[in-house]
Amino acid sequence: MGSKRDPIGDMKQFLVAALTVVTAMSSVWANLGAASDRIDDLYGNLDQRQLRDDGTVSVLYHKDRYLYLVIFVNDRSVSESYSHINGTDLSEKEIAKFLKINAAGGAWIPVNTSKERRFKRSDDRAEATYGSSSGRRALTVRELRGKDAQRDQ
């Protein structure tokens, strides 16, 4: 006689495997709202840290082929810019990946502008732009708070 499979046991194994994959994938990237220690661990070598006049802290990291410029307020990321170290354009796939990790359960909606590519998150709590930043092409994702969140409505 053949052995019977335990469907509940199979489902448990599947759920454990799926949870492991999701946890591993989420730990590969940080995103808006992440604490500085998490970003320090994930974004690689710290190149520059600067206290800005407005009390925020900007930190430049490099890892693999990317530069990450992160603005922190109260030890929490409120703006992140992603670019290639060599200054080349990000691919559509890379832009989609960085937007996805900053979606926070929402969807990114393209907004037509004449100057640069712009995206608005469906929850109106973040926006993204792809254009020139400090002499290089970068995708910048930032939280919208207060007046900024109401600006486009």
Tally helices (H) and strands (E) across the chain.
Answer: 4, 8
pLDDT of residue 2: 54
Distance of CA 151 to CAs 36, 113, 120, 129, 146, Å? 28, 15, 11, 15, 9
Place 26 in a pLDDT band, splitting at 50, 70 and 90. Answer: very low
Neighbours of 7 (CB within 10 A): 8
User: In whole angstroms, what is the distance from residue 130 CA to residue 125 CA?
Assistant: 18
pTM of the model: 0.76
Which uninterrupted H or E stretch holds 41? Answer: helix 36-42
